[in-house]
Amino acid sequence: MIVTLAGGVGAARFLEGLVQVAPPDSITAIVNTGDDFILHGLHISPDLDIVICTLADEIDREQGWGIAGDTTECLTWLGRLGAPTWFKLGDRDLALHIHRTALLGQGIALSEITDRIRQALGVSVRVLPMSDQPVPTHVITAEGDMHFEEYFVRRRAADEVRGVRFAGIEQALPAPGVLSAIAEAEVILVAPSNPIVSIGPILALPGVREALHATRAPIVAVSPIVGGAPIKGPAAPLMRASGLEVSATGIAQAYRDFLDVLIIDEQDAELKPAVEALGIRAIVTDTIMSSMEKKAHLARVALRRHV
């Protein structure tokens, strides 16, 4: 049993490699829902959709999000009606949001809905939202407190970041299956995702960090920071605002209380001693997932000594 803590694009690509080298039904992905938000009255779960649609081989591979070949007829008309259009919603994509919202309205839990959606799309990896309760990530900026998607997509990460907060995190619970998956895992992988706004919300849920401390399974992370910059997304200002260096060493610092192994890129080989000084073993390899072979290679390295 392999558990992966996952954000969006980086995690989805990592999981694609993982299913090449381990049985998909032995893998559980615990996915960030801090980016979830309501737009046009629809419940949008960006990271769940990215993970599921990538594993279903329906993702727009160029963007890393959205559905391949999708159109935006509905969004164009929403714009004509005066609705906001800053968050790109494809027509096929909208089916996920509409269906999820309809089922939530019937009182069905997000975890149950997510399970139905991944099964409908033929995904064998078990996909768990981190929580059935909304825990929206807010970015605290010089311009005020705003939802992560507002900061990242609408305002293009242009505001000065002072911190983040996970609204409602104290009242939220890990979704059914999250803590037991961690407790029963033979290996726990932390995908190359943003440590603050992708993995951070999962770790902030009551009981998750404790479960990571309690497990005897090895915990292996892949650094999303290569050569001093994230592969994708707004990790740099968010890490800095959290007092972390924007480097593989900063990732090791973020996870030092539970991490056993950090996989860092060849470009960062000189950081191995600094990571290991934190009591975390560093493995140096090519972490750039630019092909299916390289994704599988990275997964193999992550699993090699542990299962």
Position among 3, 44, 117, 298 found at the interface with a copy of itself (CB under 8 A): 117
Position among 73, 143, 160, 184 found at the interface with a copy of itself (CB under 8 A): 73
Position among 102, 158, 229, 269 found at the interface with a copy of itself (CB under 8 A): 102
- Return the axis-axis angle of helices 110-120 and 46-55, rounded to nearest 10°: 20
Counting beta carbons within 10 angstroms of the beta carbon of residue 176, is it exposed (0 to 12), middle (13 to 18) or buried (19 or more)? middle
Q: Does 260 bind a copy of itself (CB under 8 A)?
A: no
C-beta of 145: minimal distance to a copy of itself in Å?
Answer: 21
- Count of residues in contact with a copy of itself, rule CB under 8 A: 32
Position among 99, 209, 240, 306 found at the interface with a copy of itself (CB under 8 A): 99
Position among 94, 128, 179, 199 found at the interface with a copy of itself (CB under 8 A): 94
Nearest residue to 51 via CA among 15, 85, 24, 27:
15
C-beta of 119: minimal distance to a copy of itself in Å?
Answer: 9
Site string for a copy of itself, 32-71 (x = CB under 8 A): --------xxx------------------------x--xx
85 near 107, Cβ under 8 Å? no
C-beta of 79: minimal distance to a copy of itself in Å?
Answer: 8
Which stretches of the chain are assigned E, i.e. beta strand? 2-6, 27-31, 37-39, 42-44, 126-129, 137-141, 144-147, 161-166, 187-190, 219-222, 225-226, 229-230, 261-265, 281-285
219-to-49, 199, 213, 215, 235 alpha-carbon distances in Å:
25, 14, 10, 9, 21
Q: Does 154 bind a copy of itself (CB under 8 A)?
A: no
14 near 8, Cβ under 8 Å? no
CA distance 35 to 50: 12
C-beta of 3: minimal distance to a copy of itself in Å?
Answer: 26
Instruction: Name which of residues 1 to 20 contact a copy of itself (CB under 8 A).
Output: none
Position among 24, 26, 87, 91 found at the interface with a copy of itself (CB under 8 A): 91
- The amino acid sitting at 149 is E
Q: Which residues bind a copy of itself (CB under 8 A)?
A: 40-42, 67, 70-71, 73-78, 80-83, 90-96, 98-99, 101-102, 105, 116-117, 120-121
